[in-house]
Structure 1
Amino acid sequence: MKLKDKLKDYKLIHWVYNLLHAKQLQHNKEAYEKYNVRKPLFNSISSKDFPDKTSQAWLDVNDSATVAATKKGFSNFTDDVQQQLLQWSSKGFLHLNNYFSEEQVDEVNQAVDELIHQKHLPVTHDNKVMFGYKHAAAIKKMMQDEGLKILLSFILDKDVVPFQTLNFVKGSGQRAHSDSIHMTTYPLGYLIAAWIALEDIHPDSGPLFYYPGSHKLPYLLNDDFENYSSRFKLGNKQYSDYEDVTEDIIHKSGLAYETFLPKKGDVLIWHANLIHGGMPVVNPALSRKSMVIHYYAKDVIKYHEITERPSLMEEE
């Protein structure tokens, strides 16, 4: 392991980095006060700081089949979306057909190509471009789509704020996981994701897969896969250990996965705890152009469980 990677295991390095980005931590100030968290905003934070390990989101506490239609704004959605909202509590996802136009999608694809070719942003080892919205107006515009934010805010019963964009060029091949190990909230359940098809997705390109109903499984947090940390150092478990435990849980649950083969402009919205990943890429010559946007609820504590870091949020 390189020295740089070893240093990342020490919380002190994170604290210094957080201090240098103090303005981007202010979003947690009111939430810390609300939930009685008595530590500096730059300090490490994880599920060990919170007593409750269950979701408090209204469609987790209640059944959407009985309460969604009673909420103001429900009637503003299309019949198809209304029916899917009624199934949110049981399935943990919904699918919007042909939501973004071909022109909107093409603008984003062009922006991503420019970011890559002009070397503004690197393509990561798992074939994605991170935080493209900071560099391209077309990506930011899609991220801030008002209709999408209205729907996500309805699902969470809180205003949402976008945290990041991930633009995939090819299939990630990522193993099964829940977003909540990476982007976590207190109370739990207040992250939500939108996956946008930027082209028709071919079954051999390594399409997205997900496990309907898996969001109802207990949240898998650091201590649940023995990733125990100390006051100054992160736990010694690897991310692959988390993936191993996740696959074991899925195997024992008996849940079956579905593969997502959308058309260009389609959107999949999923619950914070829905287990998902990328199928193996059968044909490496195929692209799998897509964009994921993660949104936090605005008034909750936002952090990253696996690294015990508070989230850095851009000022609106």
Structure 2
Amino acid sequence: MLQRIFERYRGFLRNLKAVYVLNNALNYRYLKHNREHYRRLGVRKSVLAPIGSADFRQRSTTDLPWLDQPDALARLEAHPDFQRFPSTWQAKLRQFVTEGYLVLEQFYTVEETDALRAEIDRLLGAGAVGFNYTGRKIFNIHEKSALANERFFRHPELLRLLAFLLGKPVVPFQSLSFIQGSEQRAHSDSIHMSTEPPGYLIATWTALEDCTEDSGPLFYYPGSHRLPYVTTADYPSGNTRLTLGQHSNRHYEDHVAALIEQHGLKKQLHLARRGDVLIWHANLLHGGSPIARPGATRRSMVCHYFARGVFCYHEISQRPAIIKEA
């Protein structure tokens, strides 16, 4: 219940670490397994306490996902399962290594996307789900819809592909549904949904309608996933022992904007067709373009997945991830 209220709340309590500790206590059954992770990582604090990358004695630089290794392309070609993918998918897998994303065109049919759109509208109309404090995101519609859960959030073929990309089985974590584009500045998911070792998060973005340049399309920076992971130590977060910095996210996005300029990264728009599925790397810089046509929609569903067996947390809000496996 506290989590539901907090999704819609945008006041000063969001900056108090004690509020997150209380929420952690209410969800202790989902966090107690982290004690083993803490022992392995040398973290000496309660599993209910705030947590971030600064708490790790030394971040892993070797146990990274297999496709993040320097010889990733050679490993990919040599993997026995690689040859089982269609040749068109093999090219996409190579692209994931080099550019940090791939697109499965028309993975879903018009009938499937129409069914999910109708389901989202029905749940919104019934008050069963609602937008969070941003006014754009609907969290975890899969918890209210068997269709969203079974055909989109836990699609067996997608789960197998994601597990192949990460080299570990994946655990579905959360879903976000959008009616309009996010208009969010460039960012990496790894600051919001973090892992130790780094890189063991992956995301899917499913277009529920055709996207146009004036509807606020998704954008990304190919190859940006190879940049170093940004943590709260890399920008003025404003965090203290008791509070989170009020403008931490803005300062983070300013830092990312500077990185984009420094490295001369080139923005690419994702003008998706209905049914397309975009899969991106945890560290790929991406965001939402401004909506140029008032009232334009960009219906979509985003799903995030952690790899099994790694420690999962939220670097920007300094809290452990609460993963409720079905």
Q: TM-score, normalised by structure 1?
A: 0.94
- Given that 1:53 and 1:219 are in contact with CA atoms closer than 8 Å, whether structure 2 keeps it comes out as no
When residues 36 and 71 of structure 1 are mapped into structure 2, their CA distance, relative to the original with a 3 A threshold, is farther
Counterpart Cα distance in 2 of 1:4 and 1:253: 34
Structure 1 counterpart of 2:81, from 60, 64, 73: 73
Cα distance change, pair 231–127 in 1 and its aligned pair in 2 (3 A):
closer
> Structure 1 unaligned runs (5+)?
none
3-state SS of paired residue (2:253): helix
Within 2, Cα distance between the matches of 1:111 and 1:229?
A: 40
Q: Tell me whether 1:114 sits opposite 2:122 in the alignment.
A: yes
Deviation at 1:157, TM superposition (A): 0.3
Question: How far does residue 86 in structure 1 lie from its aligned partner after superposition?
Answer: 1.9
**Correspondence list, 1:119-158, <5 A:** 119-124=127-132, 125-141=134-150, 142-158=152-168
- Residue in 2 that maps onto 1:288: 298
**1:187-202 pair list within 5 angstroms:** 187-202=197-212
Q: What corresponds to 2:288 in structure 1?
A: 278
The aligned runs of 1:136-285 (5 Å cut-off) are 136-141=145-150, 142-227=152-237, 229-285=239-295
Relative to structure 1, the CA distance from residue 59 to residue 202 in structure 2 (aligned partners, 3 Å threshold; closer, same or farther) is: same
Contiguous gaps of at least 5 residues in structure 2: 1-8
- How much does 1:234 deviate? 2.5
**What residue identity is the alignment partner of 2:192?**
H
Could you tell me whether the CA contact under 8 Å between 2:235 and 2:255 is conserved in 1?
A: yes
Question: For the Cα contact (< 8 Å) 1:178–1:275, is it kept in 2?
Answer: yes
Q: Report the aligned-residue RMSD.
A: 1.8
Instruction: Count residues with an aligned counterpart.
Output: 314
Contact preservation (8 Å) 1:168, 1:288: yes
Alpha carbons 2:182, 2:288 under 8 Å: kept: yes
Which amino acid in structure 2 is aligned with residue 79 of structure 1?
S
Task: Measure the CA separation in 2 of the matches of 1:69 and 1:36.
Answer: 36
Q: Which amino acid aligns with 1:232?
A: L
Q: Which runs of 4+ in 1 moved over 6 A?
A: none
Paired residue for 1:46? 52
Q: With the length of structure 2 as denominator, give the TM-score of the two structures.
A: 0.91
Q: Which amino acid aligns with 1:114?
A: R
Q: For the residues of structure 2 that align with 1:197 and 1:81, how far apart are their CA atoms?
A: 19
Q: Percent identity?
A: 41
Question: What per-residue deviation string (whole Å, max 9, x for no partner) do you get for residues 30-51 of structure 1?
Answer: 4334333332221111010122
For 2:144, the aligned partner's letter is H
